[in-house]
Structure 1
Amino acid sequence: MAGTDGSLSRSGLRGRAVELEELQALIASVARTGSGGLALIQGEPGIGKTTLLAEAVTRARAAGFSVGLGKADELHRIVPLSSLAACILHGDQPLLSGDAFVDLARNHDQRIWLVERLAEAIEAKADSVPVMIALDDVQWADPLSRFALKQLPTRLRTSPVLWMLTGRLEPAGPAEEVVAAATDELRTVTVPLGPLSGAVIGQLAGDTLGAAVDERLRDLLGGAGGNPFLAVEMLAGLRTVEASGELPPGLVVGVRGRLRPLQPSTLRFLQMGAVFGRRFGFQEAAALCGQPSTALISALEESVRAGVLDDDGDHLVFRHDLLRQAVYVDIPPSARKALHREAANQLVSAGHQPIDAVPHILKGAVPGDEEAVALLQRAADDVLSVTPDVAADLMSHALEMVPPARPLRFAVGEQAIVCLTRAGRNREALSTGDRLLACRPPLEAFSRLQAALGGTLWNMDLADELRRRAETALAIGGATAEVAARLAALRGLALSRGHDLVAAREAGETALRAATAIGDREAHVLALSGLGEIALNAGENAVALERFAALSAVDAAFLPEEIVAQQHVDDFESSERLLRQAADNAGSFRPAMLLWGQAQHHLGLGRLDDADADFVTMERLEDDVQVPVQQVNSRVIRSRIALLRGDREAAQQHLAAAQKGLATKPNPGNTAAVRFLEAIHAEADGDIGLAIDKIRQVQKEDFFMRWRLLRDWVDSAIRMALRGADHELAEDLALQAEAHAERNPAVPTATGIAAQALGLVKDDLAMLERSVALLKASPRPLVRASAYADLGQALLAAGRKPQAVAALTQAHGTFAESGAHAAAARVQRDLDGAGGASRRAATVQRPVQGWGALTASEKKVAHLIAVGHTNRSAADLLIVSPHTVNTHLTSVFRKLSVNSRVQLANLVMALPDN
């Protein structure tokens, strides 16, 4: 096992037969089944992780895998996607070209979008050949790579993609996070590497020395503790000093022994390289030495001959992290700090991105270093869109470096607030802002800080506090025109949560005029957002659409709001068109909010299975980025869907989740939504008194939410009130529906529901017939079915059975087609009473396993994937997101008990209708 130069070529592999066999089995499994897998090799530094990984890579290549092999670097663990880039861009057949990767990483600002594009590239490669992605030292992976590693193995579980990672033993570290995210979804293997036995260490010594190991040497090697790298380094150090009879007792001494014969210039060169990290550029180290590159060629050659460095043609690499650390530790601490600061300057001067210099800034900058602060600001701005948490950390460091007395502190603090808010760290942002405000900043800085805190307070649902602060800052004065416009827009946004919507609209219009006059984009966006919210809360759907359409024209990220606004005016054709537009340009939008719009589209069109899958996917994406915006509302709607389907257990689970979410985010909208859901559950449980109490609370305490919450559900609330003989409440609700129709005369759903509400309250058959007639123009089938059911019952009561049966049959068919089995069953009972058993149309419940368990959408996805479509191409055909396709596909695999696309294709092709 010795190399031609006498060095050990596979020093960590002896004694690892069992571990290698386990990895070999996983390689074979992925190749055979066509499904994904993940392996984690763990152990202390020098235990042989890298060597075992290299052997696994060799065997994977021999098995036909396309391999991408990379290594995370300790000093690059801030740079977004740097760790995965090493795997994606290198290997026998890179998954992406360098130019494509740069475009991917720089031009798009959505983590979820970026990960999906990576998944598509890997999936496309895996369609023709199994893929292995191997990453060494995952404990140093950058945050964006860690985020991707937690998503991609599960996302690609249906393709032959094998992930192989090495990492140190760190409880709750990055490696454990990646494995935990994948454990329940695909085959995972953790391979711990323990110390080698004394006998195996003796074999390693024989490999290295080419001779038998005597007793004295065996005693020396006992100090390696079974660590193969330490043992080999001790032996290598022994070679350099054996003439003098010295015996190096450990790694650092062993390395020093090896380095002792080197020229002083070579030692200095190695130390400068160690400052840059395990992997560094020759010119960068030379510059840090203060010498031209040509003067250090001999030092480079000597370092390579000594086995300290490897030269891959582009970079120099310390042969092991422990070698680099042993060299680095000999640099005096004070000198290290200065060298890191100089290294940052060298990187910036050489044209590197600011983020590349940040690790050295953090190690070398001192308080008051304004140049370093400016570099941190630039780096934070560069990474904010893809890794806001990193940007927030950078700005927190920058703020710490600015002495309190300097005016720069307020500008840095403002940027820190923005970054912390974008990262979802709102409490930290507010605390930072308040500390800065306590320092009595100049009036202009005071206004800027209050404006920066606007988004923070809005996210925290502190609308009254936002209004108070905005009004205070405007009253004090001293703000620039741009900041004053933003404060005015924030005031309008805050007022949208109050009862006086007339005053709120006036404030919003004034803010919009100011924003337009000065051309400030941020103020323009804030003003339009506030006016859109005000219109929604006032029940003015056409006005809301106008505002949100204007908003998405200014900032495409708000297209989801325009999509939902189109649905509120019954324009589902435009909603679908915009969803297609978003699918073509997904990197410009907020994926979770886009899924919210897609789910509302499917829900409105009565596609309950599709809507539920969209909501599930949206919740997962919000969990991934830890920004829970619509979690409560999603669970409320999913609970209603479950009740419509007749799944009481799932409905209760969603109610409990919504109540738990409300405790965390108790804003008025969430409160009203959960109260209304509690009313529905109380009615289902037979407690009509409690149900009515909950509806009353919504009417009285959450006045402005009534238009948004009961827009399509007011008929349910009226039925509850009538069941409980609370005619006053029922009439109030009907008047509300009538007022909503007056605000939206061109929306068939609004006018039809108003007629339905009045017909229910007054027991007016003619009005219920008018409701059905109006709702024929509505695109919402479940709303139409509800009106037909009410009409059918009224016709039965009037003794008009034939007409009643026709109306009830229409309701039953629509409910059943949408998957609302429980609603269909209720209508069926009325049909039974009207026309006897001969008219029964049985509601068939799906089984839980097998092809029959699949929803219509899942069957479509299964067919598309079976004939070779990717998630992306299937999504384009179905007008959904690739994330939703993945949700459907995961459900398909579970219900059919298959583990790969190959198995799915075989099953689908064997079906009788294929």
Structure 2
Amino acid sequence: MSQRNLEDNLDRSRVPGIRVVAPPHGREAELRLVEDVISTIEAGAQANVVVLQSDQGSGKTWLLERAAALAARRGFAVVDGMSPSVATGRPVSLVGGRTARGEDDRIAVLAAGCEAQVCGRLRNEPVLVVLDDVHWVEPALLHAIGLVMAKLGAAPVLWMFALDTAHAESANGQLLHSLVRRQRVQRLGPLERLSGAAVVSLVQGLTGATPDPDVIALCESVGGEPQSVVDLVLALRQEQSLVISGGVVELADGALTTDVPSRVEAEPGARLPAAFVRMVRSRLGRLSLRCREVLQVAAVLGDRFPPQDLAEMLEERTSHLLGPLQEAIRAGVIDSDGDEFTFHREPVWLVVLGTVPALLRSLLHRQAATMLVEQGRADAAAVHVVHFVKPGDEDALRIIRDAAVGLLPTAPRTAAALAIRGLEIAPPGSDDRLVLATSAVAALVRMGDLGAAVDLATEQLGTCGESASSSLRTWLATALMLRGDESAAQGVLAGGGDTRDPLPDLLLLNTFSGEERCEVVAMAERVLAEPGSHSDAVRAAALTVRARVRWREGELSEALATAEDAIAVQPGLPEVCQVDPLWMRAWMLTRVRRLDDAFETAEQARRVIDEHNLGVLVSLPLALRAEVRLVQGELAAAEADATAGLRAAERAGTSVYEPQLRAVLVMVSLRRGDLAVAARHLRCLEDRVPGGPPVLLRCLLSALLTAAGRGVREAMEELREVVGDAGSRRRLVLEDPSSTSWVVRTALGAGEVDHAGLVVVTAEEIAAGNPGHSAFAAAARHGRALLEGDVTGLAGLEDLYGDDVWAAASLVEDRGSMLRAEDRDRAMSELDQAMERYDDLGAAWDAARVRRKLRRLGVRRRHWNHETRPDSGWESLTTAEGKVAALVAQGMTNQQVATGLFVSPHTVGFHLRQIYRKLGIRSRVDLARIAP
């Protein structure tokens, strides 16, 4: 909206150029209030007044523009009475020059002109009159507007005024409040500082791109006023400090150093853009000298500081800090957070710290370190010691070293920053240097920066030579193993020249390997045969290897029990690989279809990772959860977890869990019928995992894709070698209970009855040896029924499959397929049910397959038009699920519901499981309790 005044602009009836209201940038509440007032005027045809009072630059003009656009869209005539810019410093003239005799005459003339213009618009529509920067308006104009407001009190007019808070007590401010005292008035302001989504929205509007976290942090650091954000972004663009890539705007010089690494940098805020530093320093310059000095000392303490520490540094009473700290809070430089004060944002803290001369900064760091050591807070002191320690200062270096070692389990990021800074100071060849190097590499591994860990460890091993500790080599090997480079990891350990038994290190590392090589199994058994000779961590690793071996041998209960033993003996403070027993347990539970237990174990792994700051393993619980959700039929949730897991793995540089994550994405895409996407994920799996993914997993996924795209004969070409080998066949059946029926079905379709029989016999052997695991019993009986063409053999299997929705749906489909020759009507009914299940699960590929079968029976079923439903709650239920829920809530049994709906009890059970999942309940009692 232009800055013209009423004299020039009263002839306008609409605000030109505003067709779409821009995003509200954090002013949603204020705009809603304005909209409510507009609605009130529309309903009651009476005048209202809105007074907006806020600081300069807080977005008053922007809000008035949005309000004007909103009113125009609602059919209001908009009269722009915005006053000239502050820079002119001239009062507004409304209609006519200063020719009237006396002030009263002038007010009367102005009032008459204003009334005529407003009333002219009122003949056709309600009116909005907007007056910005009231503090610059000529008093005569305010008096005139007051007269018109009083006269048109019953007319549908909305008067909006904006006033700078700094001028609230000025003559114009007091006059405005006096004039509106008897009106129906709504007061807005002060406008809150922008942050979060509002800043993102504003920057997007200015740059056409989404700001990255660093740009957001800078924008939130300049006071939160919209004008300040605009000024900063424009300055950054002018100085070429911003770049846009892939729809994201980021800093041209790279990411900012944040958190602890920024605290140990020699030059604070060296990477902050110059335009930002100038703006913050300009704000600081408006503070009193006393306030600035207190803030400078506070900044040396860190971006957070207790007031008592600040008082001790200044050698003053805490009460003497009241004035300067309150001034800093009012200025938005610091905030109060519990027992501490915090700088408003880290970039603000860095700018303040940068205003302290380097020599004084070093002396203040020494003073702070001395204070903290005397308080018994050596770990906190270490952050200050790095800023003044000199080569040869063993006491200072010891503080850094001990802090890095002590913080490693609980704060690896801090430990890494301290240790790396300490390496810059420690003399070559010293014991301190070796300890610092090991601590730094260990911390980098734990926090999930494997690239930096490998680079640093390789560099330090090159300088330390034979004196390098086995611990440093172990951490380097661990990093390499997590990256998927097992051969390089073994080479690091083998080349260490260490005379002690390398068994523990090798064993711990091999818990990451999915293949049980003979030497690894032998090492595990040696450890377990020597009670008390090895640490709990090593014993847990050995038990994990044994559990995996027992699983592969088909001893499922024993494998699960051994995994439980591994979890029980692992140390309270786990090393990186000590969540592996949890991984093993969850993986097994998923395959025996104890899905609730599997999900809880995945959550247990997540809690361990979070509690012990093992950021490198963030992708592990996501991989476990994704598998569980895939089996439960939650394709969207499985895809989300797998995608998040891949992002986490990419950030950390880990690849050990990528096969499982990619496998989930392959299956999700395949179920949806996105064969090209599924093929792309499979290629990524083969290309990005060093050494290739596990052979069996790759073979099974590839065969599934081949069957979908080219046919079962081609799929069997890929499966034949696996099916023909007894060991591989056993592992294939154990990989997924539902794989048995799929392989049997595929082999029969390709005319390879012998291979189908081999798979069935293997499944039956596993089921016979594990009577407590019903999913494998169901798989064996399912395969046998398919092999013999015995539809009666499929009876009762759905309950045995448990929560495996895919196995249950394929069971219904198989019943329909097997009945086509002898009972067409029943076959159609079964296939219809199967198609409904697949459609409900979003499995377009499976549903299309069933439609083809129905077409061969002479039945055409159109593709379902899915309604957009939420993921949970009553509105998420399908029509069929809603019917089942209503009847079950009335107390009916599954059999009674099935009879009433002309479906099978198994179908009712299937729908109930989906209902429980979507409503977040566990029982029929819960359903009856919450039913509407």
Q: Where do residues 664-683 of structure 1 align in structure 2 (5 Å cutoff)? A: 664-666=688-690, 668-669=692-693, 672-683=696-707
Q: State the one-letter code of the partner of 1:509.
A: E
Do the aligned residues in 1 keep the contact of 2:300 with 2:361 (CA within 8 Å)?
A: yes
CA contact (8 A) 1:595 1:615 kept: yes
Pair 312,456 (structure 1): closer, same or farther in 2 beyond 3 Å: closer
Residue 668 (structure 1) shift: 4.7
Following the alignment from structure 1 to structure 2, what is the Cα–Cα distance between the partners of residues 620 and 389?
A: 20
1:604 aligns to what?
631
Q: Which moved more, 1:695-704 or 1:419-428?
A: 695-704
Is residue 2:372 matched to residue 1:344?
no
| Match 2:525 to one of 477, 497, 509 | 509
Provide structure 2 residue ranges, at least 5 long, that are not aligned to the other structure.
1-20, 34-53, 68-188, 221-225, 237-274, 879-914, 921-930
Report the equivalent of 1:486. Answer: 504
What is the DSSP-based 3-state SS (H/G/I as helix, E as strand, rest coil) of the residue aligned with 1:402? Answer: coil
Question: Could you say which structure has the higher helix fraction?
Answer: 1
Letter paired with 1:510: R
Change (3 A) 1:393 1:302: closer
The offset of 1:447, in angstroms, is 3.4
Cα 1:790/1:406, change in 2 over 3 Å: same
Q: Any idea what SS the aligned residue of 1:844 has?
A: coil
Number of the residue aligned with 1:644: 671
Deviation, 1:656, is 1.8
Distance in structure 2 (CA, Å) of the matches to 1:358 and 1:699: 61
Contact 1:413 1:433 (8 Å CA) reproduced: yes
**2:175 equivalent to 1:175:** no
Is the 2:635–2:668 contact (alpha carbons within 8 Å) kept by the matching residues of 1?
A: yes
**Whole-Å separation in 1 of the counterparts to 2:372 and 2:814:** 73
| Aligned equivalent of 1:119 | none
AA aligned opposite 2:370: N
The equivalent position to 2:441 in structure 1, one of 417, 430, 444, is 417
Q: Which residue number in structure 2 is paired with residue 457 of structure 1?
A: 480
Q: Alpha-carbon deviation of 1:456?
A: 2.0
Q: Distance in 2 between matches of 1:661 and 1:180?
A: 40
Q: Are positions 1:660 and 2:680 aligned together?
A: no
Which of 742, 753, 756 is the matching residue for 2:779? 753
- Tell me if structure 2 keeps the 8 A contact 1:772–1:787: no
Q: Following the alignment from structure 1 to structure 2, what is the Cα–Cα distance between the partners of residues 188 and 657? A: 46
Q: Distance in 2 between matches of 1:530 and 1:622?
A: 24
Give the letter aligned to residue 354 of structure 1: D
Name the residue aligned to 2:849. 826
What residue is the counterpart of 1:192 in the other structure? 231
Contact 1:737 1:750 in 2 (8 A): yes
Structure-2 separation of matches of 1:671 and 1:188: 59
> Is 1:845 aligned with 2:865?
yes
| Separation of aligned partners in 2, 1:507 and 1:613 | 39
Q: 1:526 aligned to 2:560?
A: no
Residue aligning to 2:160: none
Distance 1:551 1:880, change over 3 A: farther
Query: Do the aligned residues in 2 keep the contact of 1:535 with 1:543 (CA within 8 Å)?
Result: yes
Deviation at 1:545, TM superposition (A): 2.0
| 1:227-282 alpha-carbon deviations (Å, 9 max, x no partner) | 78888999x9xxxxxxxxxxxxxxxxxx9xx98xx9xxx99999866755688778
Query: Aligned pair in 2 of structure 1 residues 375, 228: CA closer, same or farther (>3 Å)?
Result: closer
Task: State the distance in 2 between where 1:131 and 1:705 align.
Answer: 68
- Report the Cα distance in structure 2 between the residues aligned to 1:188 and 1:708, rounded to whole angstroms: 63
Distance 1:561 1:406 in 2: 41
Checking the alignment, whether the CA contact within 8 Å between 1:563 and 1:578 is kept in structure 2 is yes
Identity %: 20
Say if 1:347 and 1:636 are closer, same or farther in 2 by CA, change over 3 A: same
CA distance in 2 between counterparts of 1:386 and 1:881 reads 38
Separation in structure 2 between the aligned mates of residue 225 and residue 393 of structure 1, nearest angstrom: 25
Structure 1 residue identity aligned to 2:374: S
Q: Distance in 2 between matches of 1:504 and 1:447?
A: 20
The 2-side partners of 1:188 and 1:752 are apart by 67
| Letter of the structure 2 residue corresponding to residue 429 of structure 1 | A
SS of residue paired to 1:27: coil
Amino acid across the alignment from 1:550: D
**Normalized against structure 1, the TM-score is what?**
0.56
Q: Which runs of 5+ in 1 are unaligned?
A: 1-21, 35-49, 64-129, 137-148, 154-159, 182-186, 197-223, 237-254, 847-851, 864-876, 883-912
The CA deviation at 1:422 is 1.6
- Using the alignment, how far apart are the partners of 2:608 and 2:218 within structure 1? 32
Q: Mark the CA change 1:789 to 1:563 in structure 2 (over 3 Å): closer, same or farther.
A: same
Query: What is the count of residue pairs matched by the alignment?
Result: 657
Q: CA deviation at 1:414?
A: 2.6
Q: In structure 2, what is the Cα distance between the partners aligned to 1:339 and 1:191? A: 36
Matched to 2:500, the amino acid is G
**Residue 857 of structure 1 pairs with residue 880 of structure 2:** no
Deviation at 1:459, TM superposition (A): 0.8
| CA-based RMSD | 6.2
Q: 2:789 aligns with which of 761, 765, 768?
A: 765
Matched letter for residue 483 of structure 2: M
* C-alpha displacement of 1:691: 3.7
Residues 634 and 270 of structure 1: CA distance in aligned 2, closer, same or farther (over 3 Å): closer
**Partners of 1:628 and 1:189 in 2: how far apart?**
44
CA distance in 1, matches of 2:481, 2:567: 20
TM score, norm. by length of structure 2 = 0.55
SS at match of 2:670: helix
Contact 2:869 2:876 in 1 (8 A): no
CA distance in 2, matches of 1:529, 1:322: 48
| Counterpart contact for 2:379–2:403, Cα < 8 Å | yes
Residues 722, 878 of structure 1: CA spacing in aligned structure 2 closer, same or farther, 3 A cutoff? closer
**Relative contact order (alpha carbons < 8 A, sep ≥ 6): 1 or 2 greater?**
1
Residue 407 of structure 1: how far off its partner (Å) = 2.6
Report the CA distance shift for 1:368/1:539 in structure 2 as closer, same or farther (over 3 A). Answer: farther
User: Does the 8 A contact of 2:426 with 2:433 survive in 1?
Assistant: yes
Alpha-carbon distance in 2 for matches of 1:517, 1:131:
69
2:742 match: 716
* Pair 1:339–1:517, CA change in 2 (3 A): same
1:530-585 Cα offsets, whole Å, 9 max, x none, are 33444455554333322333344446966565344223223346446768989999
Structure 2 residue identity aligned to 1:176: V
Q: Contact 2:281/2:351 (CA < 8 Å) preserved in 1? A: no
Larger Cα-atom Rg: 2
Q: Secondary structure at the match of 1:363?
A: coil
CA distance in 1 between counterparts of 2:618 and 2:493 reads 31
Q: Does 1:28 align with 2:43?
A: no
Amino acid in structure 1 at the alignment position of 2:448? G
Give the deviation of 1:759 after TM superposition: 5.6
Match of 1:778 in 2: 801
- Within 2, Cα distance between the matches of 1:228 and 1:619? 39
Shift of 1:517: 2.0
Of 439, 446, 450 in structure 2, the residue corresponding to residue 426 of structure 1 is 450
For residues 52 and 548 of structure 1, what CA distance do their matches in structure 2 show?
65
For the 8 Å contact 2:438–2:472, the answer to whether it is kept is: yes
Alignment CA distance shift 1:361-1:449 (3 Å): same
